[in-house]
Amino acid sequence: MMGANEQDCVFCRVGRHEAPAEYVYEDETVFVIKDRFPKAPVHLLVIPRKHIARIDALSTEDNGLIVHLFEVVRLIAVKYHLEAGYRVIINSGAEGGQTVSHLHVHLIAGKCLGFREDAAL
């Protein structure tokens, strides 16, 4: 799905309620859905409504959006009682593991998420 534009981007369609998703939060700037292929008991995607392909496509005009994105991560962590810990991941580009060309944050929790440089989730 890399290279998608706003018209054929799956996350843009989900944000417009034109594609199915399980929503857990929405406001005028971002929405949060459950990942269709979860890597842990809690695996949510925090997605800006504005189509931004990846981190390198951000501009200074997006500063408020990025702050809000992380405010929502915090709100969702509280809502899901993730005091024991969680992981926040942003993949950027194909070699960085990004499979949908629309900036999004993975919020993953619900099991021990130890870190090993040579191991995937």
**Active-site residue among 43, 102, 104, 106?**
104
The predicted pLDDT at position 8 comes to 84
The predicted pLDDT at position 1 comes to 38
| pLDDT per residue as tens, the chain (121 positions) | 344 567 789 999 999 999 999 999 999 999 999 999 999 999 999 999 999 999 999 999 999 999 999 999 999 999 999 999 999 999 999 999 999 999 999 999 987 776 665 555 5
Q: Which has the closest alpha carbon to 38: 116, 108, 119?
A: 108
The predicted pLDDT at position 2 comes to 40
The predicted pLDDT at position 107 comes to 97
SS3 category, 24: strand
Q: Which has the closest alpha carbon to 40: 112, 114, 98, 115?
A: 112
104 is catalytic: yes
The predicted pLDDT at position 111 comes to 77
The predicted pLDDT at position 16 comes to 95
Dihedral of alpha carbons 7, 99, 47, 68, sign: negative
Tokens of 68: 């809000």
